[in-house]
């Protein structure tokens, strides 16, 4: 089976509507459960979207639906874990489709989350940024007063195959975060790689995706086939998935 992967990709070529990504993730999970594909890492971007996780988060919306609509921001309820967060163009989103039935994270979703954090912390370290965890607050942070969240995480696990994953603020404007209390945490801020790094040290998008791939393979201890943007849909079609 051919997987369209490792293309250079403009921001537009990586962009996938959030609601469409939910359907595609379900299909990718089914493929992984049947063994039709190996472990995958889907890298993409979303248009402006606020998502409400399994923990809710509607109470952390700071603007009305009409106000958000006028700003071109969609609001979507999602089955991933966690609270409210925001997606924007320029943010790198990663959805690992990984079988936790064996390996280092065998049937341990909490360990899996820590390994995702470890991978993103490794990416930051290679870029000269010290990232860290905060006990009880899933995600990756940069030190400051208050601390600044640079990567949000929320996952789902279906028959021990994962979906959803992380959103790493890269070159996104962060404007959408002003419409929410991110993850329901009011005593912290958000940041991005573009804000934390000198302009000359901000990596090209292709290089960032490469670093993420390498560090997640290392932290999770598995080989990950990368698919980017709309390639996920092509993979589902090529698989001849029943009912697709």
Tell me which residues are annotated as active site. 183
Chain centre distance of CA 235 = 19
Question: In angstroms, how far apart are the furthest CA atoms of the chain?
Answer: 52
Instruction: Give 92's strand partners.
Output: 168
Q: Which residue in 41, 50, 40, 124 sits closest to 84, CA to CA?
A: 50
Q: Whats the size of the chain, residue-wise? A: 244
Element (H, E) at 149: strand 148-158
DSSP 127-189: TT--EEEETTEEEEEE-SSS-EEEEEEEEEEETTEEEEEEEE-SS---GGGGGB-GGG--S-E
First to last CA, the chain: 16
Q: How many CB atoms are closer than 10 A to CB 20?
A: 13
CA–CA distance, 99 with 106 (Å, rounded to integer): 8
Retrieve residue 148's tokens. Answer: 């600044």
**Order of strands across the sheet that contains 74-77:** 74-77, 49-52, 84-87
Q: Tell the residue number behind the tokens 């329901």, with chain if given.
A: 184
* Cα–Cα distance measured from residue 241 to residue 244, given in angstroms and rounded to the nearest whole number: 5
């Amino acid at each position: 089976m051919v997987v369209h992967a490792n293309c250079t990709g403009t921001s537009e070529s990586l962009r996938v509507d959030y609601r469409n990504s939910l359907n595609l993730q379900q299909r990718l999970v089914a493929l992984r459960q049947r063994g039709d594909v190996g472990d995958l890492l889907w890298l993409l971007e979303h248009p402006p979207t606020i998502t409400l996780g399994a923990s809710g988060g509607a109470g952390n919306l700071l603007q009305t639906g009409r106000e958000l609509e006028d700003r071109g921001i969609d609001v979507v309820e999602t089955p991933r874990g966690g609270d409210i967060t925001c997606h924007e163009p320029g943010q790198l989103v990663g959805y690992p489709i990984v079988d936790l039935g064996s390996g280092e994270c065998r049937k341990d979703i909490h360990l899996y989350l820590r390994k995702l954090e470890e991978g993103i912390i490794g990416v930051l370290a290679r870029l000269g940024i010290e990232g860290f965890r905060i006990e009880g607050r899933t995600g990756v942070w940069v030190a400051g007063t208050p601390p600044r969240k640079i990567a949000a995480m929320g996952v789902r696990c279906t028959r021990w195959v994962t979906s959803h994953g992380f959103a790493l603020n890269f070159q996104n404007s962060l404007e959408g975060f002003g419409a929410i209390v991110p993850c329901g945490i009011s005593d912290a801020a958000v940041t991005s790689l573009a804000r934390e790094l000198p302009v000359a040290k901000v990596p090209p998008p292709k290089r960032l995706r490469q670093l993420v791939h390498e560090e997640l393979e290392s932290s999770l201890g598995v080989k990950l086939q990368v698919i980017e943007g709309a390639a996920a849909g092509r993979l589902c079609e090529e698989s001849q998935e029943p009912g697709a």
